[in-house]
Amino acid sequence: MERTEITERAERILHDAASTLTTPTAGECLVCFVARQLDEFGCDGTHRFISHYRDSVAPRATALLSRLSAMGACCCDCEMFMNSYEPAARLWTPVQESVDSEEWGERVDFKPPDRMPPCGTTRRGSTKPCTNWERVFRPRYR
Ligand SMILES: [Zn+2]
Ligand SMILES: [Zn+2]
């Protein structure tokens, strides 16, 4: 095989991989999709993954960005995970912290999952998250 042929083939494979990475899988919900993309590519300070999801899956959800902004994800994709959605409570694991002082006893903290389970899927065209996610509740909603 010619060297150039190998390079070309490698490039094509890379290109294919890139295009599957940035397309939501069948039924994948907005939040799982954006979480997956952020894991892979990081946040660039825009709503690029949210917009991409809307464009490819839910083009009629024109108010999506303003709705998410109202939920706290006003400036970029990763804010959605700080202000709007977090992994569902059942996915967090307890962490036993041994504290030296007797007074405090043992404190149990919970840590978020290292990897999210596969998306619970959502209806096509919907921008609702699957059951892997819960709204981050702020004091004013309590
Ligand atoms: Zn960000
Ligand atoms: Zn999901």
Q: HEC states along 5-63?
A: HHHHHHHHHHHHHHHHHCCCCCCCCHHHHHHHHHHHHCCCCCCHHHHHHHHHHCCCCCC
In whole angstroms, give the CA distance from residue 42 to residue 2: 36
Secondary structure string (H, E, C) spanning 75-107 = CCCCHHHHHHEEECHHHCEEEEECCCCHHHCCE
Question: How far does the centroid of ligand 1 lie from the alpha carbon of residue 17, in Å?
Answer: 24
Question: How far does the centroid of ligand 2 lie from the alpha carbon of residue 14, in Å?
Answer: 26
User: Would you place residue 141 in the very low, low, confident or very high pLDDT band (cuts 50, 70, 90)?
Assistant: very low
Question: How far does the centroid of ligand 2 lie from the alpha carbon of residue 107, in Å?
Answer: 31
The pLDDT of residue 58: 95
Ligand with the closest atom to the CA of 126 = 2
Q: pLDDT by residue (tens digit) across 9-66?
A: 777 766 665 555 578 999 999 999 999 999 999 999 999 999 999 999 999 999 999 9
Question: How far does the centroid of ligand 2 lie from the alpha carbon of residue 138, in Å?
Answer: 22
Mean pLDDT of 128-140: 85
Higher pLDDT, 109 or 65: 65
Question: How far does the centroid of ligand 2 lie from the alpha carbon of residue 27, in Å?
Answer: 8
